[in-house]
Amino acid sequence: SDLEAKITEAFDLFDHERNRTIDFRELGTVIRAIGGVPTEAEVLQMVRELENDPPNGYINLERFLPVMMEAIEQEQFPKASEEELLKAFAVLDPEKRGFITVSEMESLMANEGEPFTPEELEEMLAAATDLSKGKIIYREYVVLLTTYDDTQ
């Protein structure tokens, strides 16, 4: 199925050894690459459910695929809408400039809510636009975030 292929493709991006396993610390990133928006608590719960037995720090594709397919079909990790994301960015941009600076975003993502790891922050910023100017033009970024996942 298309969904199965999409999940496998995202998993494969993080299967650095090409042995159908990923480091359990990359699970949240894989889920986000598929379009899910899990909390850290949800990621930890999934790690406990999916980690090899006995635990060795890795998750196999064979265990991940059916669980992730069901999670998507059950809408376990609902996505934020374009409108919700634009409202959130508008709060961060009281001057209504249409952008936030990379340094503002880095500070927010490292210090507010569930802090991003440096790797997660780097990945998120890599997808943002106009990094050469030190700006995230959030309308373009929101469109990217909400159109990537076409499974729902």
Per-residue pLDDT of the chain (152 residues; tens, 9 = 90+): 888 998 999 899 889 899 999 999 889 888 887 878 888 899 999 999 998 788 899 999 999 999 999 998 888 887 777 888 888 889 989 999 999 998 888 888 877 766 777 777 777 777 775 667 888 888 888 877 776 544 44
Task: List C-alpha distances in Å: 7 to 32, 71, 129, 135, 151.
Answer: 11, 11, 25, 31, 10
Final residue before a domain boundary, out of 48, 73, 98: 73
Cα–Cα distance, 26 to 140 (Å, whole number): 26
What confidence tens digit (pLDDT) does each residue in 8-33 have? 998 998 898 999 999 998 898 888 87
Residue 151: what pLDDT?
44
What pLDDT is attached to residue 147?
A: 65
69 lies in the same domain as 86? no
How far apart CA 40 and CA 116 sit, in angstroms, is: 10
- Final residue of a structural domain among 15, 44, 73: 73
Residues 135 and 116 in one domain: yes
Query: Are both 65 and 99 inside the same structural domain?
Result: no
Residue 31 within a domain: yes
Query: Which pLDDT value is given to residue 106?
Result: 83
The predicted structure's pLDDT at residue 32: 82
In a domain, 60, yes or no: yes
Q: How far is CA 83 from the centre of its chain?
A: 18
Total count of domains within the chain: 2
Does residue 152 lie in a domain region?
no
Whether residue 14 sits in one domain with residue 33: yes
Burial class from Cβ neighbours inside 10 Å (0-12, 13-18, 19+) for residue 108 reads middle
Examine residue 98 and state whether it is found in any structural domain, yes or no.
yes
65 and 103 housed in the same domain:
no
Q: Give the domain-ending residue among 52, 73, 94.
A: 73
Query: Any idea which residue has 């609902």 for tokens?
Result: 78
Q: What global pTM score does this model have?
A: 0.59
Containing structural domain, residue 103: 82-147
Q: For residue 55, is the peptide bond before it cis, meaning its omega torsion is within 30 degrees of 0?
A: no
What was the pLDDT predicted at 131? 63
Q: Indicate which CATH number applies to the domain containing 28.
A: 1.10.238.10
